[in-house]
Structure 1
Amino acid sequence: MRKLKKWQLFSIIGASLAVVVGALFFMFLNGGNSSETAAESKPYVQQAKEGSIASSVLLTGNVTANNEQYIYYDSTKGDLDSVLVNVGDQVAAGQALVTYKSAEAQAAYDAAVRAVNKADRQLHDLETNGVTVNTTGDEETDGQSVAQAQRSADSQAADLRDARADAVDNMNKAQAALNALTVTSTADGTVVEVNRDVSKSTTGTTQTLVHVVSNGNLQVKGELSEYNLANLSVGQEVTITSKVYPDKKWTGKISYISNYPKDGQQATAAPAAGSSGTGTASSSKYPYTVDITSEIGELKQGFSVNLEVKNNTQGILVPASSVVADGDKNYVWTLEKGIAKKVEVTLGNADAENQEISSGLTKDSKVITNPTDSLKDGQEVKSYEEAN
């Protein structure tokens, strides 16, 4: 037997140890990966549910009165006579707020009244006294004279009645013109603005005399983008928040969405390629109104508020992780009696957690929430875990 040198012996021992350690390390890695792969490949199954996708539509608007009245100075009515209210006054529907004075309107009314009175006097005199007939003593001749006089009296009476009717019409019109000199409140409300210092401006500038806001519920008014116009509808519920009171919320409902851009504006298209146009793309804005349905509380007119629109649409929801895209189609793996099935679906809206399925599934479908590339249509799945 040949005796090994010391350095040769150490080399053999080192090599053996390296082999053993390497083998153990390899087994450890394989064992760990096998467990991890098995855990990852274990299907999790969850039943589809019916519900709504959380809306991500956010709007801004301003709190306004649901009914308000502006009274502007109108020089065509005459000279301003008096503003009968002050800021802060509570007014009732029909209460006089502003009066004008017009000599022409008063004169027209007085003349119409005199015409009516004159027609009344003449008609009364004719009906009371009739007409005078000179008799001759000849019965036949006198009879003819009386008949002719009666016809004349009837004709005069008819003319007087027509004249009186015309005079009454003129009097009513003149009275309406006088009534128009007094401007009244259209609803119960609060006076929030009064301006007595106005002039007969020739520039067409609108001058507010009185501004009244109703005491009813408030509204929120704002503008929608053309994208939001296509995704919102009247009747949807909203949650309202204000920076002034960040810890408070109000509820409301969309009551109006205009189908026409604000002030008739139109979007300006960008110039076509190669053209010399300088147009720029812009988005049209569409007015909307939200009725506030909760208690007003600290909310005040004029506040700027944020609105989150709630989605009222109910649909079939599955976890977003269960949807598999394949080209331009989308699929969900379902589990029916232990058999995996690949089902083509049509997608709706989605949020961070859920995907709405427009077609392809029912609320009773069980879907695999963690499908893998190794799944095959018709494959038997013996071991899976139900997820809540």
Structure 2
Amino acid sequence: METAKRIGVDNEHVRTPRKKKWMILGIFILLFMAVLSIIVVVEVKKSNAKPLVFISPIEKNFTKTKTVSGRVVQSHTETIYINATKGSIQEIFVKEGETVTPGQKLFSYEGSTVAADQGQAEANKKLAETSVTQLKEQITSLEQDIREAESTTTPDITDTPDTTNTTDAVDTANQATKAITIQSLQAELNSAKAELRASELKVEKYTLEAEKLKAELETLTVSSLTAGVITNLNQNVGQGFQAKDNQQLAIMQIASNNPFQIEGKLTEAEKAKITPGQSITVTSKVVANKKWKGKISEVSDNPTYKTPANKGKDPQQEPIPSYTFKASLDSQKGLYPGYTTTLDVVVQSKELLAVPETSIKGFGKSTYVYVLKKGKLHEQKVETGQKQGKWVAILKGLKKEDKLGEDPSWIIRLGTKMNLN
């Protein structure tokens, strides 16, 4: 008897969990039915409260983007190096952070020997020019003397039997004297012309020498080639500093004032989709709720390689290639060099038919809309694509001239006659 009681108690213990499970399942079923009833009531009220509005699909631009990261950089940075062959530093004209313009002096070398040589060449040039002027005056005077000597004639003497022989002798003597005078003047003229040519050659020589030294002297003052801001001014370089031969030592950098760029690196898969000219939307964690527009300006075809982090564990693993890209910005307000950014690159842009999300019914691949055909309501299966805001792209199933319900109720009866008015 005790055994029978014990068996009954055990059976009761087994039935109790089963009863609890059935009770819980029943409660869930009741809740589901209640929620379903509420939905039905809401949909009925909704369908009764407002008429079904019919709309046509619209054409809308849908884009696909690829997200990559980058960093804001100056569009160009010029590095200025010290030239050891020009001597020691004489003076630095700019300061760190100063804005400079093209042609503005940056610093100068001493170059005292070059300045002295240039001064001597200028002096020699002036002496040669003075000599040329004097010789030209002398040549003009000699040419005048020769013309006067050639035009001189012997005075007329009345011929008589007693003077005829005397006149012939005088004429012969005068002609000889005249020829000697002209010959002497001509020799002096030739000598002056030779000296003039030599002096003119000296003028040319000293002119070229002075210009060469002047140009060399001008190179002792280094000027900016671009507009920008002075950065990384070498604090170890000052007046009297002399760089060592063959030493490449930077004295400063000039960061261009041109609009900033964004630089970053792409993987192989990203490079296959990203090309110059694609539009971008840029955001930065540093500046909240702000976006910038621009485009990809350059994508390198030459990869750089990075050694994998687990190379030690897997020696056979190949280095990872990456490709540098650059992007330009329409506006840079609020961005500064060094900021990290996120770029949404538009890799595809396409015009597609679109409908409001509220028009789509069903789930997954079994999606449909309610369309009006010959005045009656029909269920039309559609293939949906990308969602953009409240709009959903329609890949298949609809035409531009179709009429469909904008926000239909779930309990619409198919085949119902509808009036668009």
Q: TM-score, normalised by structure 2?
A: 0.55
Is the alpha carbon distance of 1:305 and 1:383 closer, same or farther for their aligned partners in structure 2, counting shifts above 3 Å?
A: same
> What whole-Å deviation, never above 9, does each CA across 1:246-286 have from its counterpart, x for those lacking one?
x2324232363044426xx5899xxxxxxxx9572532413
1:190-229 alignment, distance < 5 Å: 190-198=229-237, 200-201=243-244, 204=247, 206-229=248-271
2:252 aligned with 1:243: no
Larger fraction in helix: 2
Pick aligned residue for 1:124 from 133, 148, 160? 133
Is the alpha carbon distance of 1:232 and 1:367 closer, same or farther for their aligned partners in structure 2, counting shifts above 3 Å?
A: farther
How far residue 240 of structure 1 moved from its aligned partner, in angstroms, is: 2.0
How far residue 242 of structure 1 moved from its aligned partner, in angstroms, is: 1.9
Q: Verify the 8 A CA contact 2:64 2:349 in the aligned structure 1.
A: no
Q: Verify the 8 A CA contact 2:263 2:324 in the aligned structure 1.
A: no
2:59 maps to 49
Q: Verify the 8 A CA contact 2:279 2:296 in the aligned structure 1.
A: no
Pick aligned residue for 1:184 from 210, 215, 223? 223
How far residue 308 of structure 1 moved from its aligned partner, in angstroms, is: 1.7
Is the alpha carbon distance of 1:61 and 1:177 closer, same or farther for their aligned partners in structure 2, counting shifts above 3 Å?
A: farther
Is the alpha carbon distance of 1:341 and 1:169 closer, same or farther for their aligned partners in structure 2, counting shifts above 3 Å?
A: farther
Is the alpha carbon distance of 1:255 and 1:282 closer, same or farther for their aligned partners in structure 2, counting shifts above 3 Å?
A: closer
> Distance in 2 between the 1:337 and 1:156 partners?
113
1:91 maps to 100
Output the aligned Cα RMSD: 5.0
Query: Letter of the aligned partner of 1:79 in structure 2?
Result: S
2:312 maps to none
Structure 1, unaligned runs of 5 or more: 1-44, 269-276, 322-334, 343-349, 369-380
Pick aligned residue for 2:298 from 233, 257, 268? 257
Larger gyration radius, structure 1 or structure 2: 2
2:208 maps to 169
> Distance in 2 between the 1:356 and 1:158 partners?
93
Q: Verify the 8 A CA contact 1:237 1:251 in the aligned structure 2.
A: no
Q: Verify the 8 A CA contact 1:69 1:185 in the aligned structure 2.
A: no
Tell me, what secondary structure is at the counterpart of 1:66? coil
Tell me, what secondary structure is at the counterpart of 1:313? strand
How far residue 98 of structure 1 moved from its aligned partner, in angstroms, is: 1.1
Q: Verify the 8 A CA contact 1:90 1:191 in the aligned structure 2.
A: yes
> What whole-Å deviation, never above 9, does each CA across 1:62-104 have from its counterpart, x for those lacking one?
2223344332222132211222222233434322121112245
2:329 aligned with 1:291: yes
How far residue 167 of structure 1 moved from its aligned partner, in angstroms, is: 2.5
Structure 2, unaligned runs of 5 or more: 1-54, 150-174, 308-314, 361-370, 405-413
The sequence identity of aligned pairs, in percent, is 20
Query: Letter of the aligned partner of 1:307 in structure 2?
Result: L
Is the alpha carbon distance of 1:99 and 1:156 closer, same or farther for their aligned partners in structure 2, counting shifts above 3 Å?
A: same
Query: Letter of the aligned partner of 2:331 in structure 1?
Result: T
How far residue 365 of structure 1 moved from its aligned partner, in angstroms, is: 7.8
Q: TM-score, normalised by structure 1?
A: 0.59
Query: Letter of the aligned partner of 1:71 in structure 2?
Result: I
